Structure 1
Amino acid sequence: MSQIDPLSDTEIEERYSIRGEKPVAFMLGGFAKARESFSVHFHAGDEMFLTTLLAVQADKGRLVFDCSGSADTNRRFLLSEKNVFRGHPGGVPVHFSTGRASELNYEGDKAFSVTLPDHVVRLQRREHFRIETPRVNPLLLFARLADGRLLKLPVHDISVGGAGVDAAELPEGVDLGTVLQNCHFALPGDSKQLYFSAMVRNYRDYETRTGQRGWRIGVQFDDLSMADQSRIQRYIAKVERERHELI
């Protein structure tokens, strides 16, 4: 038996949903107080922008959040009938869907508001089971730095929330908080690429048993769809099952 059972998107929604007006308002209010960042996906996921949650106005049943920096994006967003928010508060994937947004004035600045969602999906920390990936034909992470340079790094370990990648030298421009754009990789046996952005959360140098030195860089996935998170879960379960069968 693997330590994680493969879950469908519907099962994930059912198992990890926080429901009810007060629990949802309490959770999102905490994220707003901490000024957590979320990505907002609209027009069937074809467009997105990054925002910060500003406040939960429970008496009005609404969530207030920042506009984007683009007036054109803001205009198109206000026409969207369904919007999906995705974030990683405390490193834990969170997502929820809302209806059409309205514009309002909040503390002297323009902002958006939406009706509070009826549920929020939050994966638990214990679901971030991490496995080492096979060394033969390693999983490769491709990413772009801000200056356009391409990174191609083997993945050492992976979880639903992020991965540890190896590098012979710490790439110039990589530091804590660095955002890697246009990241992608394909899971072994799966021809479809997973696309996302990622943030560097930690790095350290290490020495192998043979005396070789290198760097391990921990990255946190962002903008990863629930479908792709499920694919990673199924991959983790498959690797664990295969290793168990060899014992």
Structure 2
Amino acid sequence: MTGEAEPTDSTDFGLRNSLEIGTFLRELATRQDFLTVDYGYGQIVTRLLHVDTDSKTFIFDHGALRPMNGAVLAAHKLRFGASPDGVRIEFTTGTPCEVSLDNAPAFEVALPKVLFRMQRREYFRVETPTVDPYFCSGKLPDGQPFRLDVYDLSLGGVALKTQDENIANLEVGLTLNNVLLHLKDHGSVSLDLQLVSPRPHPGGGKLFILGFRFLTLPAQTEKVLQQMIAQLEIKRGALLR
């Protein structure tokens, strides 16, 4: 018995080789993807700072609140979760220790014995126009209105761009209701979105990408998105010829 809870979905894929696990976690660290860390009766949001495959350890950042960081240190088991590119990642570790990295406090813990990648739903993603882009509008939980350009789109969710650090730091799992997705000639559709994958833009700078999944997708809305995604891919293919 390893103590790891194995998912029952047959499409879940578990990495069990420490070198593979370390390489995968190093990629998350390089991309600066956010992870949630559940310590039993609460959670923090963090990033991986360093992965050492030789010592089979990794270092992750402190959370925003000191009492929660103390709870992390006292926990016998930590459950990590992330959704880079819409693929759910889960793994558990034992108790961490506190270390200092670049003169800042952080946590160090042994690599997990198993890392699960849960690929229950695969959707084709298509990049959307950068000139006269599609956009989403709605209200944040505090009532503040927002308008964000669309980065890419699939039948499973949408990635939005922002330079607003307050929006980029929204908590993973946050739900935004009645968001309008504006699709130019295709009209607008109302959707409920859940934040699953905030990350810096791959091009660098102060631009962030927020990956959201659709909580529901009515049949008529799905039909509109299917037609639009197909047309965008046809146009992209024509440009590449």
Q: TM-score range by the shorter chain?
A: 0.5 to 0.7
Looking at structure 2, the residues matched to 82 and 65 of structure 1 have their Cα atoms a distance apart, in angstroms, of 15
Q: Quick one: distance in 1 between partners of 2:193 and 2:69?
A: 30
Asked whether the equivalents of residues 141 and 176 of structure 2 are also in contact (C-alpha less than 8 Å), the reply is no
2:30 matched to 1:33? yes
SS of 2:7's equivalent in the other structure is helix
What letter is aligned with 1:197? L
Residue pair 1:198, 1:221 contacting (<8 A) in 2 also: yes
2:112 paired residue number = 117
Give the conservation status (yes or no) of the 8 Å contact 1:64–1:111: yes
1:73-116 deviation line (CA, Å, top 9, x unaligned): 11111111111111112232111111111100112211011110
- Does the 8 A contact of 1:94 with 1:123 survive in 2? yes
Cross-structure match for 1:204:
182
Secondary structure of 2:64's partner?
Answer: coil
State whether structure 2 residue 122 is matched by structure 1 residue 128: yes
The CA deviation string for residues 109-150 of structure 1, in whole angstroms up to 9 with x for no partner, is 1101111001111124x73359xxxxxxxxxxxx97242479
Unpaired stretches in structure 2, ≥5 consecutive residues: 1-5, 125-137, 146-153, 198-214, 216-241
TM-score (norm 1): 0.55
Query: AA paired with 1:72?
Result: P
**Aligned runs of 1:191-230 on 2, under 5 Å?**
196-198=173-175, 203-206=181-184, 213-215=187-189, 219-222=193-196
Quote the sequence identity (%): 21
Instruction: Structure 1: give runs of 5+ residues left out of the alignment.
Output: 1-8, 131-142, 151-156, 165-174, 184-195, 224-231, 233-247
**RMSD, matched Cα:** 3.9
- Alignment-derived partner of residue 135 in structure 1: none
Deviation at 1:198, TM superposition (A): 4.7
Residue 58 of structure 1 is matched in structure 2 by: 53
- Structure 2 equivalent of residue 24 of structure 1: 21
Match of 1:97 among 81, 88, 92: 92
Give the TM-score, by structure 2 length: 0.56
Paired residue total: 167
Aligned partners of 2:12 and 2:117 also within 8 Å? no
